[in-house]
A and B are shown apart, each in its own frame.
Chain A
């Protein structure tokens, strides 16, 4: 049995392993109910121009009322300059040095730009940010981000919003094995609770998702389902799965079997 250590993000510990987004819900009320049903302790938010500059006030009050830890993102940024500026603006508005660093390199599949991501991560870490980079499932990229000083990495399961699940379990498993002390969170691409369960079974510390819950027919019920899946996956990881075998092994005792080999 493995030790069941809590989720740790830059020195802060959390008992819940489901980070949840605040976008795409049918209504603010359903967003609130879904967050509660998920049991999440961390919620993602962003910054945008407002048609009415006061429009952000109501949403922000809703989020503050949840009492959750806020994780701002830099969604939609396509350059190092954009992402650094938006991160600084997030730090001022949300009063946190955490930043979920999203730097898009391809508009078609919203794939992170690994080269620019390294540059931006270094700039922001040196500026005192606690960077949670959204990255591809590339081992060397993850190693480079770790070398820069990241304490959390967030490789994708699949492109954002696709709901395809873990497209490359081999890569994700390799990253887990090669960076055993890193807090690893699968971010993006999950669609089903079983996808989240699979990530936790692999030893990932948490998952971050939004569309899978907000886009479900009943977001609140799906949030509950994801909560169970994450708990099950973590318990399975801690319990340690049986060794897989190539041939059948009977589970019922053969000793005392009547008519044996007649």
Chain B
């Protein structure tokens, strides 16, 4: 029951996306994508994760 979180394989401890990112310690500000598709924050609580999904949690960094 694994997924890939920010490029690293990790156990899927809950199928709910919102619960998953909270369990990962996500703090504002951030945005989420699953399998390369943006998931608006308003939809995270209604998004179910599957085994093998790729979850990306992005935060602001410096940019040119």
**Cβ contact within 8 Å between B63 and A21:** yes
**Smallest Cβ distance from B37 to chain A, in angstroms?**
6
List residues 5-48 of chain A with CB under 8 A from any CB of chain B.
21-25, 31, 44-48
Select which of A22, A50, A92 is within 8 A of B63 by beta carbon: A22
B33-64 CB contacts (< 8 Å) to partner A: 33, 36-38, 40-41, 56-64
Q: Would you call B59 and A73 a contact (CB within 8 A)? A: no
* A interface majority secondary structure: mixed
A254 CA to B63 CA in the complex, in Å?
58
Residues of B within 8 A of A160 (CB): 64
Residues of B within 8 A of A88 (CB): 31, 38
The size class of the interface chain A forms with chain B is 35 or more
Interchain Cβ contacts within 8 Å, total number? 105
Complex Cα–Cα for A24 and B60 (A): 15
Q: How far is the CB of A15 from chain B (nearest CB, A)?
A: 23
Are A23 and B62 in contact, with the CB atoms below 8 A?
Answer: yes
Give the contacts of B15-36 with A (CB-CB under 8 A): 24-33, 36
Q: Which residues of A contact B40 (CB under 8 A)?
A: 92
Q: Are B28 and A57 in contact (CB under 8 A)?
A: yes
Indicate whether A85 sits within 8 Å of B26 (C-beta atoms), given known contacts A44-B63, A46-B63, A75-B64: no
* B6 at the A interface (CB under 8 A): yes
User: Is A72's beta carbon under 8 Å from chain B?
Assistant: yes
Q: Are A211 and B38 in contact (CB under 8 A)?
A: no
Which of B7, B24, B38, B63 contacts A53, CB < 8 Å?
B24
Contacts of B26 in A (CB 8 A): 53
Indicate if the CB atoms of A45 and B62 lie closer than 8 Å: yes
A129 within 8 A of B: no
| B50–chain A nearest beta-carbon distance, Å | 19
- B62 surroundings in chain A (CB, below 8 A): 21-25, 31, 45-46, 59
* Contact of A57 with B27 at beta-carbon distance under 8 Å, contacts A45-B62, A49-B6 already known: yes
| A57 pairs with B59, CB closer than 8 A | yes
B-side interface residues toward A, CB under 8 Å? 6-7, 24-33, 36-38, 40-41, 56-64
| Besides the known contacts A44-B64, A46-B61, A63-B60, 6 further A-B residue pairs in the complex with CB atoms under 8 A apart | A21-B64, A50-B57, A54-B27, A85-B37, A89-B33, A93-B30
Q: Please name 13 pairs of A and B residues whose Cβ atoms are closer than 8 Å in the assembled complex, sorted by A.
A: A22-B62, A23-B63, A23-B64, A44-B64, A50-B59, A53-B25, A53-B59, A57-B29, A60-B60, A75-B63, A88-B38, A92-B31, A93-B30
